[in-house]
Amino acid sequence: MAAVADDVTVLHGGVVVTMDSGFRVFRDGAVVVARDRIVAVGHSADILLFYPRAAWKVDLAGRILLPGFINTHVHTSQQLARGIADDVDLMTWLHGRIWPYESHMTEEDSYVSTLLCGIELIRSGVTCFAEAGGQYVSEMARAVELLGLRACLTKSIMDCGEGLPPNWSSCSTDDCIQSQKDLYEKHNNTADGRIRIWFGLRQIMNATDRLLLETRDAAQKLNTGIHMHIAEIPYENQLVMQTKGIDHGTVTYLEKIDFLRSNLLAAHSVWLNTAEIEHFLKSEVKVSHCPASAMRMLGFAPIREMLDSGVCVSLGTDGAPSNNRMSIVDEMYLACLINKGREAYITGTTNPTVLPAETVLKMATINGAKAVLWDNEIGSLAVGKKADMVIANPFTWSMVPMHDCIANIVYCMRTENIESVMCNGRWIMRDKKIVNLNEEEVIASAGKRASDLLARAGINLPNRMNYV
Ligand SMILES: [Zn+2]
């Protein structure tokens, strides 16, 4: 019997990696999209029989169809700061480069920065991201709406802290909470439901206890998430131990004040001990592991231990000045390598079975969806879920031959293998062309704005070599 719906898109003839509850992979599979949702997943022969009059048929010709990747830690406002803080110590990074940069940013800078970042995210197959916190959420929302992406947007929130730029004093606790409630009111569930507004906390050194607890309560009341940098560097833990009188770091303290909840997305989470991993597990806190950024700035996170214990660990790129490459494809590869290397480093013996490809692919898809509290609608190719999908072309020098599709996706695939991206049932990149905006114009505008912004912020980068 033929289905009645004509107004559907049938993508067929591809390797369909569903990441569904059974982790099914269809060797010759098809997915049917009606408006913004997936209405069928199955073998190509069955689906084509069932939808003979589909309005659009896309022959994938053996390409790989995947759920859109979810990048759970992104600083869209920092995209124009790529390259301003390479190879510098952490205090220079923060006080000498990033804070002056961010505090001199205009609303239009934030808009263009988000567009540029969004282009790179889409090109690496990302359909949804979690913003770590910037100043101008309305501008981020404007850019995300145009790009066609899905996002959990967050304001950068600090109500205390030392060394902040003079033109950028921290706001009162009440203002911090109220401004986020206002943003929620204005932007949550906008852009056809693609934008959600979360609460932000920059890090524990910039948050009073009152801010922490009122953020916890406000987010719970609005049924939304909280995004916070947690246990990034040893200094953070040392300071918390000194000032709060506890025996370990940030997570121990957050547990003590009953802050940890299942709607908390803990970015980085590098310096955790065993007890703290248990706290995360018990409270169902989600983690964003950012391998490249961790290697540059932070250290080895206990990812294998967290995954073994059952903590939901997802993947993020962090911002451009911490990583430079905003590619979740690269992060998958790095997550495998770094955590295998860490094993040899801490145990004195190698263990290549740590973080296998299928685990890392889960981190970039279904775990990412859980981390952004959206797994009822995204993170896998399943009937009823939103049509957020990626087409990768494996017939290139980088991926041929393909004996094991899952291993090739994680170990061989490059950003350049991502060919088309659909979010919410609409193509946002088609055959490597960004659909909703003029990429060249954004690139030209971003270059000029970045130079102007650096000059305004008084940031002068030293010459590394003898320029003549
Ligand atoms: Zn960050």
Gap from CA of 379 to ligand 1 centroid (Å):
22
Residue 385 DSSP label: S
Residue 466 DSSP label: -
Gap from CA of 259 to ligand 1 centroid (Å):
20
Contact status, residue 43 vs residue 24, Cβ threshold 8 Å = no
Gap from CA of 81 to ligand 1 centroid (Å):
13
Gap from CA of 100 to ligand 1 centroid (Å):
16
Residue 375 DSSP label: T
Gap from CA of 236 to ligand 1 centroid (Å):
14
Nearest to 288 by CA among 195, 388, 363, 194: 363
Contact status, residue 150 vs residue 387, Cβ threshold 8 Å = no
Gap from CA of 137 to ligand 1 centroid (Å):
16
Gap from CA of 186 to ligand 1 centroid (Å):
25
Nearest to 205 by CA among 247, 254, 168: 254
In 10 A of CB 284, how many CB atoms? Answer: 15
Gap from CA of 27 to ligand 1 centroid (Å):
38
What does 425-457 look like in DSSP terms, one character per residue? Answer: TEEEEETTEESSS-HHHHHHHHHHHHHHHHHHH
Show Cβ contacts of residue 298 under 8 Å, excluding neighbours closer than 6 positions.
232, 233, 268, 270
Gap from CA of 201 to ligand 1 centroid (Å):
11
* pLDDT tens-digit series, residues 357-403: 999 999 999 999 999 999 999 999 999 999 999 999 999 999 999 99
Nearest to 336 by CA among 369, 309, 303, 366: 303
Gap from CA of 386 to ligand 1 centroid (Å):
27
Gap from CA of 383 to ligand 1 centroid (Å):
34
Gap from CA of 283 to ligand 1 centroid (Å):
22
pTM, entire model = 0.97
Gap from CA of 287 to ligand 1 centroid (Å):
12
Residue 58 DSSP label: E
Gap from CA of 131 to ligand 1 centroid (Å):
9
Gap from CA of 74 to ligand 1 centroid (Å):
7
* pLDDT tens-digit series, residues 27-79: 999 999 999 999 999 999 999 999 999 989 999 999 999 999 999 999 999 99
Which pLDDT does position 5 carry in this prediction?
Answer: 61
d(CA 262, CA 178): 22
Contact status, residue 275 vs residue 246, Cβ threshold 8 Å = no
**Residues forming CATH 3.20.20.140 domain(s) in the chain:** 69-371
Show Cβ contacts of residue 398 under 8 Å, excluding neighbours closer than 6 positions.
412, 413, 414, 416, 417
Burial class, 450, CB count within 10 angstroms (exposed 0-12 / middle 13-18 / buried 19+): buried
Gap from CA of 42 to ligand 1 centroid (Å):
39
Contact status, residue 150 vs residue 121, Cβ threshold 8 Å = no
Which pLDDT does position 7 carry in this prediction?
Answer: 85
Gap from CA of 313 to ligand 1 centroid (Å):
16
Is the pLDDT reported for residue 461 higher than 80? yes
Contact status, residue 152 vs residue 196, Cβ threshold 8 Å = yes
d(CA 49, CA 84): 55
Gap from CA of 328 to ligand 1 centroid (Å):
15
Which pLDDT does position 87 carry in this prediction?
Answer: 95
In degrees to the nearest 10, what's the CA dihedral of 225, 66, 305, 262? 20
330-357: average pLDDT: 96
Which pLDDT does position 1 carry in this prediction?
Answer: 46
Gap from CA of 78 to ligand 1 centroid (Å):
10
Gap from CA of 293 to ligand 1 centroid (Å):
9
Is the pLDDT reported for residue 4 higher than 60? no
Gap from CA of 318 to ligand 1 centroid (Å):
5
* pLDDT tens-digit series, residues 287-303: 999 999 999 999 999 99
* pLDDT tens-digit series, residues 266-283: 999 999 999 999 999 999
Nearest to 391 by CA among 66, 34, 121: 66
**Own/partner pairs for 437-444, CB < 8 Å, 24+ apart?**
437/115, 437/119, 437/146, 437/147, 439/119, 442/112, 442/115, 442/116, 442/119, 443/116
Gap from CA of 141 to ligand 1 centroid (Å):
19
Which pLDDT does position 84 carry in this prediction?
Answer: 97
Gap from CA of 348 to ligand 1 centroid (Å):
31
* pLDDT tens-digit series, residues 424-443: 999 999 999 999 999 999 99
∠ CA 120-122-125 to the nearest 5 degrees? 115
Contact status, residue 467 vs residue 461, Cβ threshold 8 Å = no
Which pLDDT does position 71 carry in this prediction?
Answer: 98
Gap from CA of 462 to ligand 1 centroid (Å):
25
The domain made up of 69-371 has a fold known as TIM Barrel (3.20.20)
Gap from CA of 316 to ligand 1 centroid (Å):
9
* pLDDT tens-digit series, residues 199-254: 999 999 999 999 999 999 999 999 999 999 999 999 999 999 999 999 999 999 99
Gap from CA of 57 to ligand 1 centroid (Å):
41
Angle between helices 173-187 and 209-222 (to 10 degrees): 20
Gap from CA of 460 to ligand 1 centroid (Å):
23
In degrees to the nearest 10, what's the CA dihedral of 302, 304, 305, 308? 160
* pLDDT tens-digit series, residues 75-125: 999 999 999 999 999 889 988 999 999 999 999 999 999 999 999 999 999
Which pLDDT does position 161 carry in this prediction?
Answer: 84
Q: Which of the listed CATH numbers 2.30.40.10, 1.20.120.1200, 3.30.365.10, 3.60.20.40 matches domain 9-67+378-432?
A: 2.30.40.10
**Residues forming CATH 2.30.40.10 domain(s) in the chain:** 9-67+378-432
Contact status, residue 148 vs residue 386, Cβ threshold 8 Å = no
Gap from CA of 132 to ligand 1 centroid (Å):
6
d(CA 419, CA 428): 11
Which pLDDT does position 204 carry in this prediction?
Answer: 95
